[in-house]
C-alpha cells in the first residue's frame, strides 16, 4: 500500500481531530455536547453510512471477497484474544489490570477511524468488508467484552443478555442482509444516505479531538506503564501479524483491510464498557487517546509493510 496516500489521509483525519480539539478548547463544543455529538455519530450518521455501503455495491469483485473477509474476521479476533491472554499472563498482571489490558487489546477503533480510512483508501464499496469486523466487534464486546469489564469491578454487576441487541449490532446485521440480498435503493434515497453518511468522517474525528482536549495531552503521556502496552499493540504485534498474513490464501485487498484493522488504535467503546461495568474508565480512555495520537504516525509507517 502507498505510504504517501495513507499518510495524506491520516493528515486529513488529524486536521479534523484538531478542529474538534480547538472547538472543545474554545468551549464551542462542551463535554455534554461532545456526548450528544458522539451519540448522533453512532446512532444516526454511522448507521446510515454502513447501510449505504451495503446497498451501494455493484455486481463486481467485492461480493466475491465476502467469504475470505469473514474468514479473516475470525482470524483477527481469535488472534487478538489469544495474544492478549498470553501477554497479560507473561507479565503477571493482577486481575483488574489483566482484564483492562485484554479488553483494550482485542477491540480496535473499527468505526470512528476504520470506516473513513477504508472508504478513502479502497472506496465506498469496500466498507461492507469492514462491516463484518464491526459485526464481530459488537458480538464480542457485548459478551466477552462485558465479562472482561466486569473483572475490573470490586462488585461486578449481573450480565444482561438484552445489552447484546444494540444499535451497532442491529445495524451490522441489517447491512449484511441488505448486501447478501442485493437490495437496491431508489436514487433519491441513495443520495440521502450518501449525504448523511459523508458527515460521519468529520464528526467522528471531531469527537476524538474533543476527547483528547478533555483528557489533557500531558496526562495522556504521563503513565510509563502505558508505553509497554503501546509498543506491543501498535508496533510489535502488527509487524508479526503482517508477516504471517502473507501466507494466508486471501485476496490482496482483503489482507490489506485485515492489516489495517490490526494497526487501528484502541476502540473508544472499551472506555464506555470499562466505566459502565468496571467503574474504571479513565485509564482506558487515556490509552484510547494515546494510541489514537500515535496511530497518526504508526498506521502510515506500517502500511508500507502490506
d(CA 6, CA 46) in angstroms, rounded, equals: 22
Query: Reduced to 3 states, what is the DSSP secondary structure of residue 108?
Result: strand
pTM over 0.85, yes/no: no
Question: How many independent structural domains does the chain possess?
Answer: 1
Domain that holds residue 240: 3-20+29-303
Residue 106: pLDDT band with limits 50, 70, 90: very high
**Half-sphere exposure (CA, 13 Å, Cβ side) for 141?**
28
Query: Reduced to 3 states, what is the DSSP secondary structure of residue 238?
Result: helix
pLDDT at 124: 75
Which residues lie across from 108 on neighbouring strands?
A: 266
Q: What is the pLDDT of residues 50-63, one digit of tens each?
A: 788 778 765 556 77
> 252 and 61 in contact (C-beta within 8 Å)?
no
> 229 and 265 in contact (C-beta within 8 Å)?
no
pLDDT at 257: 92
Residue 8, domain CATH: 1.20.1530.20
The residue assigned the cell 483528557 is 215
The residue assigned the cell 454487576 is 157
> 101 and 87 in contact (C-beta within 8 Å)?
yes
Q: What is the pLDDT of residues 249-261, one digit of tens each?
A: 899 889 999 999 9
Q: How would you classify residue 29: left for phi > 0, otherwise alpha for psi between -120 and 50, otherwise beta?
A: beta
Amino acid at each position: 500500500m502507498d505510504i504517501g496516500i495513507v499518510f495524506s489521509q491520516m493528515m486529513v483525519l488529524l486536521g479534523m481531530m484538531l478542529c474538534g480539539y480547538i472547538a472543545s478548547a474554545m468551549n464551542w463544543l462542551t463535554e455534554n455536547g461532545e456526548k450528544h455529538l458522539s451519540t448522533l455519530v453512532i446512532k444516526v450518521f454511522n448507521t446510515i453510512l454502513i447501510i449505504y455501503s451495503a446497498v451501494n455495491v455493484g455486481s463486481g469483485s467485492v461480493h466475491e471477497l465476502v467469504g475470505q473477509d469473514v474468514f479473516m474476521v475470525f482470524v483477527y479476533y481469535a488472534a487478538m484474544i489469544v495474544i492478549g491472554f498470553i501477554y497479560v499472563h507473561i507479565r503477571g498482571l493482577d486481575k483488574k489490570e489483566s482484564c483492562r489490558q485484554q479488553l483494550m487489546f482485542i477491540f480496535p477503533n473499527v468505526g470512528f477511524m476504520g470506516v473513513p480510512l477504508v472508504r478513502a483508501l479502497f472506496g465506498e464499496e469496500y466498507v461492507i468488508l469492514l462491516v463484518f469486523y464491526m459485526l464481530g466487534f459488537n458480538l464480542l464486546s457485548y459478551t466477552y467484552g462485558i465479562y472482561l469489564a466486569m473483572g475490573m469491578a470490586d462488585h461486578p454487576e449481573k450480565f444482561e443478555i438484552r445489552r447484546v441487541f444494540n444499535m451497532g449490532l442491529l445495524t451490522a446485521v441489517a447491512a449484511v442482509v441488505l448486501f447478501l440480498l442485493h437490495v437496491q435503493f431508489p436514487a433519491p434515497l441513495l443520495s440521502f444516505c450518501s449525504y448523511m453518511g459523508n458527515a460521519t468522517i468529520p464528526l467522528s474525528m471531531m469527537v476524538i479531538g474533543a476527547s483528547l482536549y478533555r483528557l489533557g495531552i500531558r496526562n495522556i503521556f504521563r503513565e510509563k506503564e502505558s508505553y509497554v502496552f503501546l509498543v506491543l499493540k501498535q508496533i510489535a504485534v502488527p509487524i508479526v501479524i503482517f508477516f504471517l498474513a502473507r501466507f494466508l490464501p486471501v485476496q490482496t485487498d482483503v489482507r490489506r483491510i485485515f492489516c489495517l484493522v490490526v494497526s487501528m488504535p484502541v476502540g473508544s467503546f472499551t472506555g464506555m464498557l470499562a466505566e459502565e461495568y468496571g467503574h474504571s474508565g479513565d485509564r482506558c480512555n487515556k490509552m484510547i487517546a494515546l494510541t489514537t495520537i500515535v496511530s497518526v504516525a504508526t498506521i502510515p509507517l506500517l502500511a508500507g509493510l502490506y
